[in-house]
Amino acid sequence: MSNKLSLPALGEKFPHLEVSTSQGAKVLPEDYNGKWFVLFSHPGDFTPVCTTEFESFAMHEKEFHDLNCELIGLSLDSVEEHKNWISWINENAPAPINYPVIGDESAIEVANTLGMVHSALGNASIRAVFIVDDKGFLRLMMYYPMVIGRNISEIVRSVKALQIFDKEKVLLPADYPNNKWLGDSKALLISPQNEEMQTQYEAAKEAGKINSKADWFWFKDMK
């Protein structure tokens, strides 16, 4: 496998990939047209941190589905190994694994295409996360080292925040919806781009619809 790191760009169309999974052949992103999906890689099957992550994804699966979002796992193990591991998890953990996991030679192609192997950390796939929207565009990437399990609630939060931006055209602050400075469920507005926009913001503030901390720092309640 090549150790050259290759990364797609945020905002671009997710690359066309034909993959083998624990649930049969799939084509990305086309098979998920009209749905968001989270593609996440892990270093290896039958390993403790990865097992806790897979189970956590399973326990959050309804939250993803409520956001019209599907899950897809990946490691460089074989599809048969994935099936054996999933069977073990389903027998020993409370939430079953219902989502597909990419394996075999197609996993190597995906890992090379998306920069999932970082040679300084070995030849396994790192803990990468790719969030793709319902039109097939890459919206967010996260990379974690092999020694730290991911916070799945943060991935749910990220999908939710991106969807809020698409619908409301507002920006989401740090720790949304629980920003300790602004308060719960506050969204940020794009800074005024001209005098007319500034006047509109000031009128909205006078009407109690939005608030500000500076002439470039505007926010509103999303409750």
Nearest to 31 by CA among 40, 22, 18, 44: 18
**How far is 208 from 27, CA to CA, in rounded Å?**
49
Dihedral over alpha carbons 43, 48, 54, 58 (to 10 degrees): 180
Nearest to 110 by CA among 17, 6, 2, 11: 17
Q: Are 192 and 202 in contact (CB under 8 A)?
A: no
Helix, strand or coil, per DSSP, at residue 28: strand
DSSP single-letter state for residue 192: P
One of 28, 38, 39, 50 is an active-site residue; which one?
A: 50
- Residue 50: active-site member: yes
Tokens 């956590």 appear where? 56
Q: Are 86 and 115 in contact (CB under 8 A)?
A: no
- Active-site annotation, residues: 50
